[in-house]
Amino acid sequence: MIMQTVNKMTTFPSRQALTVDVEDYFHVSAFEKAIDKADWNNLELRVEANTYRLLELFEQKQAKCTFFTLGWVAERCPNLIKAIVDQGHELASHGFAHQRATEMTPEQFLADVRKSKQVLEDTSGQAIIGYRAPSFSINDNNTWVYKTLAELGFEYSSSTYPIEHDLYGVPNWPRFKYQRDEGIIEIPVPTVRKSERNTGIGGGGYFRLYPYWLSKRRIDNYLNTEQQPYSFYFHPWEIDPEQPRVAGASIKSRLRHYLNLSRMEGKVVRLLEDYQWDTMKSVYLNKK
């Protein structure tokens, strides 16, 4: 029985993809009605220190990561961007100002993503080939974004979460990597499927909510059952329990955002120790 278990475990894909959405606490969609974008420059910038902390952890655990970064952050923290690429991580776009793709016209989307790509490339000196829409905001109503991404020179997107959710989700879309007709490879956030329903296991609030042993069991089940690489996402603000509390946000938003922040870093460390981590382009596109 032990030998059977060991053999089964060796069928895991050898490397998983680690991703961080580089944004600050005041950028999140949950607070967009409570915080005016015009006030962003007047708020305490915490994303830089939090991301440097993640870089330290990744170096300690020999993990590589894809940092989906806001152009807004890159403009204000150029040394952070250089540190990310100098340490061998992948830099990718999260748009410029964390505006959901579902709330932009094609012209606005083009301007936002083109600006973010230019800022990231100018600061890092590297080509940007990956994109993640804020709040996974690609769905049946705006598939035109893929044509724009292809025109801008992107090769892949990780902008869909095939679950039912009140803020996002495309439960009927593919669950695994696929290439679209526009030429863009889409890499959905991982889910487990049970009773014809998908449940998210890719990170975020789910990871903060569940005890670590349960999250690991669900990830292992995914790896064994699906025989697909796994990708994990989180944010620098999730390891920052001392961040300012936002007044005026809904109770639901506050619960989601502040849930178990004090435990997150410890959970991330365990995750880094239990799996081998690499970039999205390495794991899914076989590119260095």
Span 168-186, pLDDT tens digits: 668 889 999 999 999 999 9
Contacts for 286 with CB less than 8 Å, ≥ 6 apart: none
Domains of the chain (ranges; CATH) run 2-275 (3.20.20.370)
Whole-number Å distance between alpha carbons of 51 and 57 = 10
The share of the chain scoring above pLDDT 70, in percent, equals 94
Span 82-102, pLDDT tens digits: 999 999 999 999 999 999 999
The answer to whether residues 72 and 98 touch, using CB atoms and an 8 Å cutoff, is yes
Q: Work out the number of other CB atoms within 10 angstroms of the CB of residue 106.
A: 12
- Has residue 276 got a pLDDT over 50? yes
Mean pLDDT of 216-243: 96
3-class SS at 171? coil
Classify strands 185-186 and 178-179 as parallel, antiparallel or unpaired. Answer: antiparallel
3-class SS at 38? helix
CA atoms within 13 A on the CB side of 221: 14
Classify strands 197-200 and 191-194 as parallel, antiparallel or unpaired. Answer: antiparallel
**What is the per-residue pLDDT for 168?**
65
pLDDT averaged over every residue in the chain: 92
Q: Say which residue, 167 or 160, is predicted with more confidence.
A: 160
Span 30-82, pLDDT tens digits: 888 889 999 999 999 999 999 999 999 999 999 999 999 999 999 999 999 99
* Cα→Cα distances 151→29, 113, 145, 146, 277, Å: 27, 11, 10, 9, 30
Span of 28-32, 41-45, 196-200, 230-234 with lowest mean pLDDT: 196-200
